[in-house]
Structure 1
């Protein structure tokens, strides 16, 4: 049955001209087979809170669009390697933004491509209606893309494409035009469990689902204190996490550079950590504002930068961390700085204990009091410095 077959062919050609790397078509049938799974995840507290809140609207396209007939799913491939990376120097340690935050904010890039595609389709089907969305929309991107034949959902819950691995951004357009559906993607993970084994916080459940609360990517985007158990696993990545993608066999040797606006500026995506801690709001917006990773603002990234400095045991950061602990107006930054000092300081140091205790006496926020109290205890448990042997 050739439903708008000629139009479909034209749309595919137009999509490639616009710079869309993959395009697929599926029906607007419900995704009701996911209902039990979504409800179970919510009941178990495995969701991040960033998802669209109404489960029915995520599953039933007709709840969010009048008489939907098809969904067009698109993918844009992003680079997984920095072509001229910067070295992290001893006195100038650098963090890292995960790859999905390199270049300009992908929401803007995808919206622009989808708007251009819709504008083209309207020249061919003047009365048609459309609803485009990118991961902040109602539908589940990976489920839509898998059903539209763009790839399959891996055990890490990400869409894996044949050409680009999982290094793709996804978007979709609901429309009232009826197209012939493409063949859904079929899982090719087999018995491979590399992503599950490599996840440092055991966030992956093994069936393509995850406990988002345990995911480091989610943890780097929270606003208060980061729980202790996630600080060390975070290493120096101050936004997002790529571990489950990095180890995936389908991603090996896959780094494409198709979109100049997605190319990372090393100075931005490998930020010098100490300057990030004192950056003004104006300079932060100018330098990091275009990144998807800036959406939560400056404070979570600064908190993460302090954790990264602690993970690197950066001795040169001690004076700055003492200053932040004593002068920063934000309790989370003061408390995280105290914690970082207790990690970086190698040996017993009564002066540092005294400095944190003096600050603790001024604190009223319960979590900050706990952080500083624990930092003092940790410092008191350190070994005394080795005595320097004098030469006789």
Structure 2
């Protein structure tokens, strides 16, 4: 088998099926990433969503029998929304991050990997593969960096010369010995715009992220959001694009190459108040196809309540009072209490005082007290 020729054929086929970048690397252990992951764990910087076994995350031979190489791919996604709706008083809107626009990228990238695997399988009878997109053992960023897709930016994203950091990543381990491509050298230089702009200081140093204080992570948690992050979340419902938006390498970058990635404006920037009482069925029907729905409706609803407090829109008070009085989930009732305090006004204050007399859950009572404290600060 002429693997050099096959590699060229794979690259050509990848372009035919809409893969925007492809790279090849060895299946050697990712030692540098292993050291970083160990350090992250020691510092408590992990999100908890990662694959737990660091050895498996960095040693391909532990998760695939006799690996010979890894093929990495990237798909470019849009950074701008056509016909984006604007929020206004009485009709405020939240925002899903760009990586949650359109169809869930896990599905889109896996489809391309499956097409690529089928093509290789048609050429080599004993070819074997293990496909991964985000939720696999390996660290997508480490594979993509070593395969020459792009360099690992200070914002912990892979940055490509062509598409900036607005790319989805995926990879396949294979038993076929493809020649590795050259890794790309760092091109961030002295720039620290992403570190400077991070709303919570989660980028503690170039290439190191404290996930526990990253808004993208915090929007996916299900409990009460820690006090110090509530004002910083703004109207974000899922994810955060700040460190990408300020990156000079993303200036003017906006590719619309895949129809499935185009956002539905009313899903990517939904009205906030209808989210407060949306049923599980309605949520699944409307948002189930986007990656931002993977944790269910509770985090989205909680973030929507915080966003309404952020806007201080009096038109939301009645809806928030209903949540405070009727929702069965303490985290949601408590967040509504906090948000009512942020919005202010006599109606909100009276509702909080009534709830304080009726509420039995200590978590919610603490949030009611926080809400009432906003009124004391105004005096």
The normalised TM-score by structure 2 is: 0.98
Which piece of structure 1 moves more, 187-196 or 228-237?
228-237
TM alignment of 1:196-345, pairs within 5 A: 196-345=195-344
Aligned counterpart in structure 2 of residue 372 of structure 1, from 362, 368, 371: 368
Distance in 2 between residues matched to 1:205 and 1:59, nearest whole Å: 23
RMSD (Å) for aligned C-alpha atoms: 1.2
Task: Write the distance in 2 (CA, Å) between the matches of 1:177 and 1:352.
Answer: 65
3-state secondary structure, aligned to 2:173: strand
Checking the alignment, whether the CA contact within 8 Å between 1:353 and 1:380 is kept in structure 2 is no
Show the counterpart of 1:48.
47
Alignment partners' CA distance in 1, 2:149 and 2:80: 23
> 5 Å matches for 1:72-111?
72-111=71-110
Alignment of 1:60-71 (within 5 A): 60-71=59-70
Residue aligned with 2:232, SS: coil
Contact map agreement 1:3 1:179 (CA 8 A) in 2: no
Quote the offset at 1:74 in angstroms.
0.3
SS of 2:111's equivalent?
helix
Where does structure 1 differ by over 6 angstroms across 4 or more consecutive aligned residues? none
Farther-moved stretch of structure 1 (285-294 vs 202-211): 202-211
Gaps of 5+ in 2: none
Higher mean alpha-carbon deviation, 191-200 vs 29-38, is at 29-38
Q: Which moved more, 1:321-330 or 1:73-82?
A: 321-330
Q: Distance in 2 between matches of 1:182 and 1:227?
A: 44
Partner of 1:159: 158
Structure with bigger gyration radius: 1
User: 1:382: how far off?
Assistant: 2.2
Q: CA deviation at 1:89?
A: 1.8
**Structure 1 residue ranges without an equivalent (≥5):** 384-392
Residues 168-177 or 38-47, more deviating: 38-47
TM-score scaled by structure 1? 0.94
Deviation string, structure 1 residues 304-332 (Cα, Å, up to 9, x no partner): 00111111111110111111101111111
Conserved? CA contact 2:195–2:206, under 8 Å: no
Other-structure match for 1:17: 16
CA distance in 1, matches of 2:15, 2:171: 15
What secondary structure, in the 3-state scheme, does the structure 2 residue paired with 1:76 have? strand
